[in-house]
Amino acid sequence: MKNRNKIQFMLDQNRQVITSKMLREQKIPSWFLTDMVRKNELVRLERGIYSTSEGLFDEFQVFQNRYGRCVFSFQTALYLHGLCDETPAGFDVTVYKGYNATKIKAPFSIYVHYIQKGLHELGLTQIESPFGQKVTAYDMERCICDLLKHRKTIEPETFAKVLKNYSQSEKRNPQKLREYAKIMKLDKKVEDVIGVLGI
């Protein structure tokens, strides 16, 4: 398949949005994107992100493409998983300690949470953004652990709603929750929650 055809295939598979990273993964020279912009076949949305005129501007995907070390977490991840129906006012992201978060620039609020490197990748998953693009967030079980760890900063109503939604989710995985709890030293809190929810 010729490079142009490969690019069109990727656009069709990705809702008319394509990134420089996607081309690198397919070993396609990035100058193809520059050439397509020059010919008005593509529009440059952000550094490394391009779209046809029919493409959707996805703030989740654009942000993560620029700041690949940032993992959607807390309120943002809960929203993406459908555990919380309140639309986030900004993005909650988690980075490892030592990451220079001062370089993060966005036209909306960014709430940065720090975690030791050994826990930064615990519970990573790919999930669809509201625009249908794949982005990296923590899975439901990691979200519950973070919620329990920072319970004092969470509104009681939100806390109760999230736990209720998790207990009713067909995708819940109590065994995985227990595994994460051991790693994050939250065994007692998680067992108490599992007991109350009856899962």
The residue type of 183 is: I
β-sheet with 43-46: strand ranges across: 17-19, 49-51, 43-46
pLDDT of residue 174: 94
Provide the residue count of the chain. 199
Per-residue pLDDT of the chain (199 residues; tens, 9 = 90+): 689 899 999 888 877 888 888 899 999 998 999 899 889 898 887 778 888 877 667 889 888 888 999 999 999 999 999 999 888 889 999 999 999 999 898 878 999 999 999 999 999 999 999 888 889 999 999 999 999 999 988 889 999 999 999 999 999 999 999 999 999 999 999 999 888 888 8
**Rg of the chain over CA atoms, in angstroms?**
19
pLDDT of residue 86: 82
Distances (CA, A) of 181 to 75, 145, 147, 167, 189: 19, 7, 12, 16, 8
Query: Residue 61 and residue 183: Cα distance in Å, rounded?
Result: 29
pLDDT of residue 53: 76
pLDDT of residue 108: 83
Contact between 143 and 81 under an 8 Å Cβ cutoff? The reply is: yes
Query: Residue 199 and residue 183: Cα distance in Å, rounded?
Result: 20
Contact between 145 and 78 under an 8 Å Cβ cutoff? The reply is: no
pLDDT of residue 173: 96
pLDDT of residue 56: 66
Q: What is the pTM of this model?
A: 0.78
Q: Which two tokens stand for residue 179?
A: 């595994």
Distances (CA, A) of 38 to 34, 111, 132: 6, 37, 28
